[in-house]
Amino acid sequence: MDLDSAGAARRLMARLDAFAAFTDEPGKLTRLYLSPSYRAACDQFAKWAQAAGMRVRVDAVGNVRARYEGKTADAPALMIGSHIDTVRDAGRFDGNLGALAALAVVEQLAENGVRLDHAIEVVAIGDEEGVRFSAAMTGSRALAGQLSATAMQAKDGEGVTLDQALTAFGCDPARACACGAKGVAAFVELHIEQGPVLEAKGLALGVVSAINGATRMQMTVNGVAGHAGCVPMQLRRDAVAAAAEMILAIEARAKAEADLVATVGRLEVEPGAINVIPGLARFSLDVRSPGDERRRRAVGDIDAAAAAIAARRNVEMAMQPIHEAAAYVCDARIVAGFDRALTDMGLPAFHLPSGAGHDTMVMGALAPAGMLFVRCAGGISHNPAESITSEDGALALAALTRFAVDFRG
């Protein structure tokens, strides 16, 4: 099938620029879920979808859902999309690229009068980032039929509940927990990588093998505070020196295993004075891996190493779980479909895990799901400096289109 993908890619890149004008904060891109700029972005998205002959509606949680029928009415649908909410002072590609590229896939079909055996449902998802409310992925949770009634009471910084914000937006929150998508054969998402791997490999595109699971822990080390001048080194029970050794052990454990990452991002010291041996150190631990079993084993090893360091240094160590999310292994048929699309285009079918969470991991509960990553400059995201080249944008759209056309439900 010969579609004008070059023209479609140029239009996609121009739209990504135009779409960045929908912002809550002039001079930067901040589009929080259900805000006035989110409304304006939904309206524009819906207008483009209608112009492509799609049936469009905004569902009960503010997702824009547009359907392009297949050869027969009510055919199972390939759902394609990503989120259109952003973080504060965001880049213009995170989420928006996947939503607008999904639209571009259908526009190419419509402009060439092509109907497929399956329908295509394009979705612009609200609230992936979780910036406004104390909950994330509200849009995809609703689509996957996984939204809980308690989530509706999540509040934003002004004390407005999700329930109230949806009502103000013109949605019916009573229907939010029952607006799960029906007849979806699969879900796919195109997204910027948000890491430096593709750039380092010199590749435009990569097929996501899994979305990493995560474990977060609070580590506490209790030693004995004392006078920095009077306690000899041999008699100290220094909580920070012990924590430092533990942090290096964490780094060493993560480095020893491919695709496993561990981060200590926060460290607090008490009493925190220049002339006092620290009696207490508290630090955070974030461990991620594409395999749940591998992640649990790493956390167990870190626990054992930290306990051994604590015993040797005569301090106490405690490890407390804060958060745990399972990994999502992308559906093998979706991965194979993207592999085929890349191979047909003469590109290597390179696989990589996603270190960040995505709507796809939620949508996996609804239907077979998978993702395609596109290289972004310096691996930078959640930052206005986020960028992709037009050439990579064109390759990404061509691969997504090829996947959608060749998809067999």
Which residues 6+ apart lie within 8 Å of 289 measured at CB? Answer: 212, 213, 257, 259, 260, 261, 295, 298, 327
Please identify, among the stretches 33-41, 64-72, 90-98, 221-229, the one whose residues bind Zn ion according to the rule CB under 5 A.
90-98
Q: Across-strand partners of 369?
A: 187
User: In the numeric block, which tokens belong to residue 159?
Assistant: 């004390």
Binding segment toward Zn ion, per CB under 5 A, in 20-28, 94-102, 244-252, 299-307: 94-102
Smallest distance from Zn ion to CB 20, Å: 15
- Kindly state whether residue 290 participates in binding Zn ion, applying the rule CB under 5 A: no
The verdict on 94 binding Zn ion (CB under 5 A) reads: yes
User: Which residue type occupies 282?
Assistant: R
- In the bound state with Zn ion, the residue whose beta carbon lies nearer, of 94 and 121, is 94
- Residue 402 DSSP SS3: helix
- Please report how close the Cβ of residue 104 comes to Zn ion at its closest, in angstroms: 18
* DSSP β-ladder status, 64-68 and 119-125: antiparallel
Of 115 and 382, nearer to Zn ion (C-beta) is 382
CB nearer to Zn ion: pick between 98 and 279: 98
Which listed residue (62, 70, 91, 95) binds Zn ion by CB under 5 A? 95
Alpha helices by DSSP H, 172-257: 197-201, 239-255
d(CA 300, CA 288): 13
Q: How far is the CB of 309 from Zn ion (least distance, A)?
A: 37
CB of 330 to Zn ion, least distance (A): 16
Dihedral in degrees, nearest 10, Cα atoms 284, 290, 293, 297: -40
Number of residues that bind Zn ion (CB under 5 A): 2
Kindly state whether residue 292 participates in binding Zn ion, applying the rule CB under 5 A: no
CA distance 269 to 207: 42
353 part of the interface to Zn ion, by CB under 5 A: no
Of 61, 85, 59, 45, nearest to 165 by C-alpha is 61
User: Binding to Zn ion by residue 126, rule CB under 5 A?
Assistant: no
Q: How far is the CB of 370 from Zn ion (least distance, A)?
A: 15
Q: Are 335 and 351 in contact (CB under 8 A)?
A: yes
Count the neighbouring beta carbons within 10 Å of the beta carbon of residue 27: 8
Nearer to Zn ion, 90 or 366 (CB): 90
Q: How near is the Cβ of 245 to Zn ion at its closest, in Å?
A: 36
Contact 84, 38 (CB under 8 A): yes
Name residues whose C-beta falls within 8 Å of residue 106's C-beta, 6 or more positions apart in sequence: 49, 52, 54, 66, 68, 120, 122
Check: CB of residue 86 under 8 Å from CB of residue 30.
yes
| Interacting positions 191-250 with Zn ion (CB under 5 A) | none
DSSP-assigned beta bridge partners for residue 205: 374
Task: Tokens 């992936």: give the residue.
Answer: 128
Q: Select 95 or 370, whichever has its Cβ closest to Zn ion.
A: 95
CB of 94 to Zn ion, least distance (A): 4
What is the rounded distance in angstroms from the CA atom of residue 3 to the CA atom of residue 6?
Answer: 9
Stretch that binds Zn ion, among 31-39, 88-96, 164-172, 279-287 (CB under 5 A): 88-96
Question: At its nearest, how many Å lie between Zn ion and the CB of residue 194?
Answer: 7
In whole angstroms, the minimum distance from the beta carbon of 128 to Zn ion comes to: 6
Of the listed pieces 95-103, 173-181, 271-279, 332-340, which binds Zn ion according to CB under 5 A?
Answer: 95-103
Q: Which stretch binds Zn ion (CB under 5 A): 38-46, 93-101, 260-268, 300-308?
A: 93-101
Interface with Zn ion includes 85 (CB under 5 A)? no
Ranges within 36-55 binding Zn ion (CB under 5 A)? none
Given the rule CB under 5 A, which residues bind Zn ion? 94-95
